[in-house]
A and B are shown apart, each in its own frame.
Chain A
């Protein structure tokens, strides 16, 4: 498959995977912090986004890694279905 077409396919997967990770993060955040996360997101405030994740999720790197893994597995299962 030509690279362009392969890229198109890969890019198609990225949005939903990123959405899934965001949902996992939002679920972990205390309700009071979710609005703050949304505001930081809309402001493109990277530091605040990171601070909210780090402050509210234990071992956030592992959590995010597992979240991405889960999202990709879900994506693969949906493709097969």
Chain B
């Protein structure tokens, strides 16, 4: 196709070409005239008008360019500021969401643990679990408590403080004595292997399990016995799952226990229990210095962290330890808002602590206080312990 601007290919008549040439010639002549006339712009300069126009045009363009750049810069600054604000807002939302998720995780921890045990044991039992002989399991439970009287489908019993009979207490104590004797026997065998540390740790972790989880695992282990006819096909997976679970899923978390849910057993002392001969002895080995609050911490957890290193506390069982910790919580609450603030909690409420707060642990570093709680814990009855462990769940 012909280019309409190409003088060669565009089809014009001779007359049209002549007119076109005339126009071009006239335009050239005008341009030449302008160039030849010098124009004085400023005294002492010899700039011609076109040059001045060019210069002014250039300056105007420069100014406009600069203005445009300034506007762009301002725009970018505003955009940047907006972006920073958005990011900060998002960070705040993320922090808030993380806090909520942490709280949810802590609250659902117990439920998740129980579900996980169910899953592990389901794996252990395999398809044969459906054929689980109820009578067999009932007989197994009966061995532990010959007076089992709760039948499946029976109406829920009224919740009340249970006082075991001497026979029942004796039965449970004999089970615990057998457990202690078996652990002692295990110690001898494990020491020969050079693995008592590991075996002992498994025992300790098992004791820290929620009661329901411990029961399910025990029943799950028992289901692996060949004679039980069910669930031995995946025994390796079961043992692997249980051991991994004990180490990974059931690492005792202080957050699993709500300080508010442990039921009151006996009036906990709100003032230090003192002896006549000895003044209160500080226990810096337990509560020296300050404890800085980190994300996810609770007062219960921080106090337990300090107590965990104390041999007297470590020798207590789970229910007794919970009792001691609960006693400390009650003691702190008894200090009132101002006392709790002096302890380092700005809110004045031991259930509302913030990251970065420093808890002055030496405020509760009173040995007689500690000893008083331990003494009371050691006097707990089986029924009271059962209630504490139930509350823990």
B162-A2 in contact (CB<8A): yes
B202: A residues at CB distance < 8 A: 15, 18-19, 22, 41
Which one of B203, B214, B235, B248 lies within 8 Å of A44 (CB-CB)?
A: B248
Tier of interface size on chain B: 35 or more
Those of B239-254 within 8 Å (CB) of chain A: 239-249
A13-B179 in contact (CB<8A): yes
A72: B residues at CB distance < 8 A: 222, 225
Tally inter-chain residue pairs, CB-CB below 8 A. Answer: 208
Q: Which applies to chain B's interface (DSSP): helix, strand, loop or mixed?
A: helix
Q: Which applies to chain A's interface (DSSP): helix, strand, loop or mixed?
A: helix
Q: Report if A32 contacts B (CB, 8 A).
A: no
A78-B178 in contact (CB<8A): yes
Inter-chain CA distance A41–B215, complex, in Å, is 21
Nearest Cβ on chain A to B6's Cβ, whole angstroms: 79
B168-A1 in contact (CB<8A): yes
B145: A residues at CB distance < 8 A: 1, 5-6, 9
B234-A61 in contact (CB<8A): yes
A65-B225 in contact (CB<8A): yes
Inter-chain CA distance A6–B219, complex, in Å, is 12
Q: Report if B74 contacts A (CB, 8 A).
A: no
B-contact bits for A50-81, CB 8 A (1 contact / 0 none)? 10011000001110111011011011101101
A12-B240 in contact (CB<8A): no
On chain A, the number of residues with a Cβ less than 8 Å from chain B's Cβ atoms is: 55
Inter-chain CA distance A12–B185, complex, in Å, is 15
A-contact bits for B144-159, CB 8 A (1 contact / 0 none)? 1111111000000100
Q: Please, which residue of chain B has its CB at the minimum distance from the CB of A21?
A: B239
Given contacts A15-B203, A61-B235, are A78 and B240 in contact (CB under 8 A)?
no
A15-B146 in contact (CB<8A): no
A68: B residues at CB distance < 8 A: 221-222, 224-225
B226: A residues at CB distance < 8 A: 62, 65-66, 69
A11-B172 in contact (CB<8A): no
Nearest Cβ on chain A to B87's Cβ, whole angstroms: 37
Which one of A17, A64, A79 lies within 8 Å of B218 (CB-CB)?
A: A17
B206: A residues at CB distance < 8 A: 14-15, 18
Given contacts A12-B176, A19-B202, are A34 and B195 in contact (CB under 8 A)?
yes
Which 5 residue pairs are nearest across A and B when measured between Cβ atoms? A44-B248, A14-B218, A1-B145, A11-B214, A6-B145
* Chain B residues in the interface with A (C-beta under 8 A): 141, 143-150, 157, 162, 164, 168, 171-172, 174-179, 181-183, 185-186, 189-190, 193, 195, 198-199, 202-203, 206-207, 209, 211-212, 214-215, 217-219, 221-222, 224-227, 232-249, 382-383, 385-386, 389-390
Known: A2-B150, A12-B179, A15-B183. 4 other contacts (CB 8 A): A4-B211, A34-B195, A64-B232, A68-B221
